Chains A and B, each alone.
Chain A
Amino acid sequence: MACNESDAWPVGPSKPQLLTTMDGGVQIAAALERPDRYAFFHKAEDALQAIPRGAGFSFAAASFGADVISIDLRSFDRVLDFDSLSGHIEVEAGISLGALFEFLTPRGYYLPVQPGHHRITVGGCIAANVHGKNPARDGTFVTQVESLRLFHPRHGCLELSPAKEPTLFHATCGGVGLTGIIISARLRAQRLPSTSLCVAHHQVATIAEGASLLREQSAHRDLTYAWFDCARFGHTFGRGVVVTGEFASGQRGAPAVKLPPSRFSPETRARLPFTQLNPVSVRLINAAYSRSLCRSNQTNVPLAKALYPTRASELFLSLFGRRGFHECQAIIPHDKVTAYVEQVRERASHGRVCIALAVAKPFDGKSELVRFDGSGVSFAIEVPRTAAAAQFMREIDRLVVQLGGRPNLIKDSRLPREIFEATYLDCDRFRSVLRQWDPQRVFRSELSERLGL
């Protein structure tokens, strides 16, 4: 147990480390602590400002900030309890989705709502209330959370659930770490119908057609998303493929699965300083990707690959170079999809912005506090970080507000406060919960400062 004499919550300065957002937009030399013992979580009246941190994969600076200590929780990565009858599993918040997957799969369970990289932590998923492969049917990560343990240096450890301390529970799920440190969580895993998905590809000529197919398919599919080619601004703009999938019929449970190792991080995302994505290369990539999707109408995809398309996404994000990219992910109401797409096309064409990626997912929930949810189709657009792209993003901001959409605050490191306030109408209630729970505001981040939370 090689340790220091004191393992307690920091009350003095820590050494700064350069932390960056996945999109390359924010870089801050922030103090970083990596506790590995429960002695760290003890009450301290004079606690310095801090923010919890998982894998650091957020596109916005949710886990670090200026003059804030980031608390890396990945040493708390254990399975504390598992009920093989109900599928309820209690884990420490620093466990990665991959480790959880490797534990659950041979036991015949899985979590339906998961983001696409296996190194993301459970704590991060709760704090960002992430969505999975079919948010319209499965909801967001909070639907899988039975209860959690939260630590705040002034309050100590608390057990939260929808029945016990519901206000704080709901503010913590999707609260971007601002209520305190999630130490552990009890999750509801679902029976794993089989170890592979039967994936179908439906070609669509326009984004509107794709969006309507997504909506139609979402009720009875385990996976629904759409990919669109937006690199051409002519009549072929938005040609794409709707991908749907359902578990293949087969045996429950699976042999032990080992996910591929990954050292990917925002700091190591790209080797080259400049972007390799330009109108020509994006067209070539899109053509190759489209061909690969359409090679067969139906394929069997292993669950691990369907849940975590890690290698492809790591490679793609690296192509943006160290300068990075902008992403705007916004839920657009169904009846505004055509208007949104037309405006995006026009502004990208006018601003000569290269849309490197455009994907869509169906949503059918209700946004509460500052959670990214709602009813409509979420469009995620990625563009290389350039001056023209920054202007394009400002225009998209105004468009999203105008059409009654809602941007994802953890996918955009520059989302301005006024756009956030105009689209998250419940944000004042979140502020008031925070003020009541933590008047001194121990937990802060660049994101909370930027959005006035």
Chain B
Amino acid sequence: MSTLVLGASAGLGRALARELATRGENLVLVARDGRDLAAEAANLRTAYGVAVDCLALDAAVPHEAERLTGLPNADAIRHLIFPIGMGTEDDDGLLPPSRVAALVNTNLTSVMAVVSLFLPQLLAADSGTVVGIGSVAALRGRSHNITYAAAKRGLESYFESLRHRTAATGVRVQFYRLGYLDTQMSFGRSLPFPKASPQAIADIITRNLGKDIGCVTLPRFWRPISWVVRALPWPLYRRLHF
């Protein structure tokens, strides 16, 4: 049995890979740059003694995901975790189509592509977990992160459908709506709420594997914030700049 982590080279993905390796899980790590993957895999093999397969692919090109089925231990994959995300400072609705496509593909389409490749074997085994990672940025659309938030909102919808699709099976579908994380994406930015440590989130996600928890917002203090943000009437919401 092994766990596939898409977006494993940094941030939450790296923390998840380490957390899983600490628990003796074999891993399939997928990320854009083979150099990052090689270093991470070497560390996990040397420090934790787990088996690690790697595949470098560009999630902005979703059909590249088909290469995953060629991995020697692809049949053994039982959990799919998607700590993948890409954002850009100038995502204000005016990006050229190629960059919009790259953002949507990376945040949404590639995840759907990988799930479609491995869901049959999870259903056949009647076990396994599919974990999607969303963002509080998708709670309500706003003038920043327009494409990113749209893709993450789409992802949330996709995971809801997926959970419904697998409800009668042993496959568990989970979705985490995450607040700010202390990763390179948020480094140096002054944000209105504290950043959570990727290690702490990775610990929770790993412990929850196999459980039927649905959609969870983390850290917990974001739950009341998300209720308020969602409940704000438009005449008030349109005046906010955040």
A115 nearest CB across to chain B (Å) = 23
Set of chain A residues within 8 Å of B231, measured between Cβ atoms: none
Taking the complex as formed, is A252 at the interface, i.e. its CB lies under 8 A from any CB of chain B?
no
* Given known A1-B83, A2-B12, A5-B88, contact A34–B42 (CB-CB < 8 A): no
The CA of A76 and the CA of B47, in the complex, are separated in Å by 15
Asked if A17 contacts B188 (CB within 8 A), the reply is yes
Q: How far is the CB of B70 from chain A (nearest CB, A)?
A: 21
Q: With a CB–CB cut-off of 8 A, which chain A residues contact B183?
A: 2, 36
- Give which listed residue, B11, B40, B87, B185, contacts A78 with CB less than 8 A: B40
Is A2 in contact with B188, judged by CB distance below 8 angstroms?
A: no
Within A85-103, the residues touching B (CB, 8 Å) are 92, 103
State whether the Cβ of A235 lies closer than 8 Å to any Cβ in chain B: no
Q: Is A80 touching B39 in the complex (CB atoms < 8 A)? A: yes
Q: Are B46 and A3 in contact (CB under 8 A)?
A: no
B234 in contact (CB, < 8 A): no
Q: Which of A4, A34, A35, A37 has the most CB of B within 10 A?
A: A37
- Judging by beta carbons under 8 Å apart, are B42 and A81 in contact? yes
- Determine how close the nearest CB of chain B comes to the CB of A184; give it in whole angstroms: 8
Contact between A1 and B11 (Cβ–Cβ < 8 Å)?
yes
Residues of the A chain whose Cβ atoms lie less than 8 Å from the Cβ of B85? 1-3
Interface 0/1 of B164-196, CB less than 8 Å to A: 000000000000000001011101110000000
Q: Given that A37-B10, A37-B36, A38-B35 are known contacts, is A2 also in contact with B185, CB under 8 Å in the complex?
A: yes
Known: A36-B10, A37-B9. A15 touches B188 (CB 8 A): yes
Contact between A14 and B188, CB atoms less than 8 A apart: yes
Question: Would A103 and B47 be within 8 Å (CB), given that A1-B8, A2-B12 are in contact?
Answer: yes
CB distance from B5 to the nearest CB of A (A): 9
Q: Is the CB of B42 within 8 A of A80?
A: yes
Candidate in B12, B31, B36, B46 with the most chain A CB atoms within 10 angstroms:
B46
Which residues of B sit under 8 angstroms from A38, Cβ to Cβ? 33, 35-36, 39
Per-residue interface assignment for chain B, residues 1 to 33, with 1 indicating a CB less than 8 Å from any chain A CB and 0 otherwise: 000000111111110000000000000000111
A-chain residues with CB within 8 Å of residue B84 when the two chains form the complex: 1-2
Chain A: interface residue total (CB-CB under 8 A): 26
**Which single residue of chain A is at the shortest CB-CB distance from B133?**
A2
- Name the contact of A5 in the complex, choosing from B13, B14, B99 (C-beta under 8 A): B99
Contact of B11 among A3, A79, A81 (CB under 8 A): A3
B161 at the interface (CB under 8 A from A): no
A167 near B: Cβ within 8 Å?
Answer: no
A5 to B102, CA, bound (A): 9
CB pair A32–B10 under 8 Å, yes or no, is no
Does A237 have its Cβ within 8 Å of any Cβ on chain B?
no
B43 at the binding interface (Cβ < 8 Å): yes
Contact between chains at B188 and A78 (CB < 8 Å): no
Q: What is the 8 Å Cβ interface bit string for chain A, positions 37-71, against chain B (1 contact, 0 not)?
A: 11100000000000000000000000000000000
Shortest beta-carbon distance from B141 to chain A in Å: 19
Chain B residue nearest to A34 (CB atoms) is B187
Q: Which residue of A lies closest to B18 (CB)?
A: A78
CB nearest to B32 among chain A residues:
A1
How close is B110's CB to chain A, nearest CB, in angstroms?
A: 11
* Best-buried of A15, A34, A78, A92 by chain B (most CB within 10 Å): A78
A82 contacts chain B at the CB level, 8 A cutoff:
yes
Q: Which single member of B11, B32, B42, B99 contacts A2 (CB below 8 Å)?
A: B11
Minimum CB–CB distance for B9 against chain A, Å: 5
> For the complex, what is the distance from the CA of A1 to the CA of B84, rounded to whole Å?
5
Which residues of B are at the interface with A, using a C-beta cutoff of 8 A? 7-14, 31-33, 35-36, 39-40, 42-43, 46-47, 83-89, 99, 102, 181, 183-185, 187-189
Please list 17 pairs of residues, one from A and one from B, whose beta carbons are closer than 8 Å in the complex, sorted by A's number: A1-B10, A1-B31, A1-B83, A1-B84, A2-B84, A2-B86, A3-B184, A32-B188, A33-B188, A37-B10, A38-B33, A38-B36, A38-B39, A39-B36, A75-B10, A78-B43, A80-B42
Seed contacts A1-B7, A34-B188; 14 additional CB < 8 Å A-B pairs: A1-B10, A1-B31, A2-B185, A4-B89, A15-B188, A36-B9, A36-B183, A37-B184, A38-B33, A39-B36, A78-B40, A79-B46, A80-B42, A82-B46
